[in-house]
Amino acid sequence: MRKSLLHNERGNITLFLLGMISIMFILFMVIINFAKVYAVKEKSFTTSQQASLSATAEFYERIWDVVAEFDEIDEENLPPEPDPDEENPPDVNPITKVKIKVKVSLKEDELRARYGSEKSENEIHIDAIDEVLADELNAGLGKRRLRQVLTEQYESRIKPAVIDKARNVILANGGKLEQAEIALFHDDRIYIKAANEFKGQGKYLDGFKEKVFQTGAGPEIGFISEMGISDEMISLSDERDAGVIWID
């Protein structure tokens, strides 16, 4: 009788221990998967943030190329030559314009003296472009012609390059283009919504996949409002997936 009771007790203890081990294993896998979700969340934020920063940098590079071309070939923005019969001709011929790139260089010197080592050379360059182009587009010499050139080149050259850069950076970071979006110039910034994929681990989550979306924003573009470009949301892919996890 005692042997039978002892055997039953040992059997119950064994079952209890096995049950506890199973529960602990399940909890362990749940914790692992929760941790992985938030790791993917951080990766998604890095992906979207890098994409928005790279897209903004691409925008400035393309704008700078257009400015260089405008400086070299544009003549329509110049005022007419002075009348030779004018009683008091100006000391400086108004047909001589200071090129925008020269103005940016002068502004860089001014900002460099103001901020010293507080800002990097790249930050100073971007700030100088912002200030000079904002002035030129608002009240500078030939502002209408400059705005026309920039907006035309934006549609044909700049915007496609910015979108391609965003796509490439997302893919380079292991992100997914499905349902990814780029918001151009909301609050004068470039926003990217992108995702990395979460893959479940464990017996019950094996094969489970979801995209974890995050949104990143580039720095403010100081002259974009003067170009008169409307906010725009563009899909980075034509495909649509059902599985989405949104984490704020």
**Per-residue pLDDT tens over the stretch 23-82:** 666 666 666 656 666 777 888 999 999 999 999 999 999 999 999 988 887 555 454 544
248 belongs to a structural domain: no
Q: Please determine, for residue 128, whether its predicted confidence score (pLDDT) is greater than 80.
A: yes
Cβ of 39: how many Cβ atoms within 10 Å? 13
**pLDDT digit string, tens, across residues 165-186:** 999 999 999 999 999 999 999 9
Q: At how many degrees (to 10) do helices 121-139 and 100-115 cross?
A: 130
pLDDT computed for residue 93 by the predictor: 40
Q: Please determine, for residue 3, whether its predicted confidence score (pLDDT) is greater than 80.
A: no
Domains of the chain: total: 1
Cα–Cα distance measured from residue 161 to residue 156, given in angstroms and rounded to the nearest whole number: 9
More confident residue, 79 or 103: 103
Cβ of 118: how many Cβ atoms within 10 Å? 8
58 belongs to a structural domain: yes
Residues 6+ apart with CB under 8 A from 173: 43, 46, 47, 50, 51, 196
83 belongs to a structural domain: no
- What is the C-alpha R_g of the chain? 30
pLDDT computed for residue 207 by the predictor: 59
6 belongs to a structural domain: no
With CA atoms as reference, report the closest residue to 243 among 215, 221, 201, 212: 212
7 belongs to a structural domain: no
Q: What percent of the chain has pLDDT over 70?
A: 65
Q: What percent of the chain has pLDDT over 90?
A: 46
242 belongs to a structural domain: no
For the whole model, what pTM was predicted?
Answer: 0.75
1 belongs to a structural domain: no
> Range of 39's domain?
15-77+97-235
Q: Where are the alpha helices (DSSP H) in 74-158?
A: 100-115, 121-139, 143-153
38 belongs to a structural domain: yes
